[in-house]
Structure 1
Amino acid sequence: MNAFLTELGKSLAPRWAATLALPAAAFVALAAAAIVLGHSHALDLALLRSRATAVSTGPALLWVVVAFLVATGAMGLAVTALGSVVIAAWGTTGVGVGRPFVALRHRRWRRASAKADAAIKVVLADRSDRRAKREARRAVLRREAISQLEPECPTWAGDRLRAVDDRIRRGAGLDLTTLWPRLWLVLPEPVRTEVAAVQDRCASAARTPVWGVACLLVGAYWWPALVPGLWLVLLSRRRIRRAVGVYADLVESSTDLHARDVANQLGFELTGKLTPEIGNQVTEMLRKQA
């Protein structure tokens, strides 16, 4: 999982100017409006227009434009850095500040797992009961909405990526953190392009809560900014889940389809399925080479 989080962190840096220039400029304009209006004149658009007109026709226009561009660039860089922090937080384990979140998610998962197991037992006792099957399916989905396996990370995203690593280790004997750099080299160009595109989506999703919190901070001085702030914070959960879910599925699919290519490149010359026994040998060989 650490390899995937590292790759996601890298995707925050390139092309930040293209992806962050517009939202950063919008945020700086929002902050400027907050400074001009404040709570006392929160919706006074006439005052805002008069101040903007005074600046645009005055001798200080050049300095205002320079300050706006500098603030936009600084905000873009700051959000890039904080987005990396968000991604790094996905994979932390139950230590330090992440411990309470892991404990909370673990309790919720255990309760949901107990209900899912009970519902499955009802289905096994009477396979003709369609209602019981529907209830069991819903119970399993509620459990997986928390985590696909017993939580060890403070966030759903971290455990979703860990589930991929766990399934591949159990099913093919491969350690994905060790395998991934070699697998990347043998992936076809269209697959690598698709993975890179999804990594960019994950990076963008990781920045969403950062923008939301920034708007909430501006809202302390100008209450209308609380509206986009709350919307972005609420939206961030869905965006992160959707992007990370697609990324996890794509990584797992890439491994399923092309891990044999890595084994063949290492001299195993497989003609059939990549078994856990061979996967363990591949993992051992890669670790010795590392």
Structure 2
Amino acid sequence: MSDLLSELGKKLAERWLTLLVLPGALFLATLAAAWQLGHTGWYEVGRLLEITDGKAKSLSASVAGTALLLIVFLLSSAACGVVAQAIGSLLERLWFAADWRRWGPPLRWLAHRRVARRQQRYRLRRDEVGRVAALSHALDGSARQDAEAELDVAARRLSEISDEAPRRPTWMGDRMQAVDIRLHRSLGLELAVVWPHLWLHVPEPTRSAVTAARTEVSRAAALGGWGLLYLLVGALWWPGLLVPVVITVTARRRARTATDGYATLVEAAVRLHVGGLARRLGFPHSTGPFPRRLGEDLTDHLRRGEGQQ
């Protein structure tokens, strides 16, 4: 037991250092440098080195003061990491926007306007895909090949908005919503009802893959939180504005990629294992395609519970 606790403590300390302290220390050092340089002396890097060297000499004279300053610096770094994680959690909620209809009036109004615009763009690009598809069927030879290549481009442009008709204000929210729509349309399942039960049924490799994909989404959101924190650096030192821009763009790209992978794995897990869940709950189903009627019965069963049958 002592070995287990020791190993657990090492892993927790490593995660604390990697996720919170080191990024926080980098942020505080950059913030201190921005404070010293300011907007007017933004290019005087040599002066920054002189100030740093002077501070280091003054601190080295007092061992107790240095130790105390180091402890305060580490705790402040960890605090910055916690703030970045909290901002990342808020970003994650905004990105998925699952409950946008319950947001406060200003945010809800803005989200509603964005959903309407995305729906309009989706209809226009969907009509474009239909026109190009009809044209490709009417042609033959090299002209048809060119039309099919144009159809691929039009289909990609459509998927950049959403895989299904938009219902949320963000691409990532609609990417997850599309999984629910497709599963309900083809299998008669409601993902919010079935998923908790299915999660307990799927084998460990599937859970590990889905958990890893979900963790990547959270890491991308945390990176976005750091990007927003680095706006403080830009406020003190205008060249520092490049840092939050790069971090935010990177976080957004990583979040889109991670969300797409997560949604794909969730849908695959449901399609592969829902039959086993149905059999485990006593529904007659052999191997093969999962009938939509069975999905509706399974959803109803899980929603109402066995005690209310």
**TM-score higher than 0.5:** yes
In the alignment of these two chains, the number of paired residues is 276
| Percent identity (aligned) | 34
Residue range with higher mean Cα deviation, 56-65 or 221-230: 56-65
The corresponding residue for 1:288 is 304
Q: TM-score, normalised by structure 2?
A: 0.83
The corresponding residue for 2:5 is none
CA distance in 2 between partners of 1:24 and 1:105 (Å) = 37
- Contact kept, 8 Å, 1:82 with 1:210, in 2: the verdict is yes
Gaps of 5+ in 1: 1-14
Gaps of 5+ in 2: 1-14, 102-107
Corresponding letter in the other structure for 1:148: D
5 Å-filtered alignment, 1:172-211, equals: 172-211=187-226
Say whether residues 1:217 and 2:232 are aligned partners: yes
The corresponding residue for 1:83 is 88
CA distance in 1 between partners of 2:47 and 2:113 (Å) = 47
- Contact kept, 8 Å, 2:136 with 2:147, in 1: the verdict is yes
Larger radius of gyration: 2
Say whether residues 1:169 and 2:174 are aligned partners: no
CA distance in 1 between partners of 2:175 and 2:189 (Å) = 17
Say whether residues 1:46 and 2:61 are aligned partners: no
CA distance in 2 between partners of 1:268 and 1:212 (Å) = 50
CA distance in 1 between partners of 2:215 and 2:17 (Å) = 13
Deviation at 1:165, TM superposition (A): 0.8
- From the superposition, tell whether residues 119 and 89 of structure 1 become closer, same or farther in structure 2 (CA, over 3 Å): same
Deviation at 1:179, TM superposition (A): 1.0
RMSD, aligned α-carbons: 1.9
CA distance in 2 between partners of 1:16 and 1:255 (Å) = 34
The corresponding residue for 1:133 is 148
Say whether residues 1:152 and 2:188 are aligned partners: no
Residue range with higher mean Cα deviation, 79-88 or 156-165: 79-88
CA distance in 2 between partners of 1:54 and 1:62 (Å) = 18
The corresponding residue for 2:32 is 32
Residue range with higher mean Cα deviation, 52-61 or 65-74: 52-61
The corresponding residue for 2:255 is 240
CA distance in 1 between partners of 2:40 and 2:167 (Å) = 47
Larger relative contact order (Cα-Cα within 8 Å, sequence gap ≥ 6):
1
5 Å-filtered alignment, 1:102-121, equals: 102-121=115-134
Q: 1:100 aligns with which of 95, 113, 127?
A: 113
Q: Residue 258 of structure 1 aligns to a residue in which SS?
A: helix
CA distance in 2 between partners of 1:198 and 1:226 (Å) = 30
Q: Residue 196 of structure 2 aligns to a residue in which SS?
A: helix
- From the superposition, tell whether residues 99 and 155 of structure 1 become closer, same or farther in structure 2 (CA, over 3 Å): same
The corresponding residue for 1:4 is none
Query: Deviation per CA, 1:122-141, whole angstroms, max 9, x where unpaired?
Result: 12323551111111121111
The corresponding residue for 1:3 is none
Deviation at 1:30, TM superposition (A): 1.0
- Contact kept, 8 Å, 1:195 with 1:247, in 2: the verdict is yes
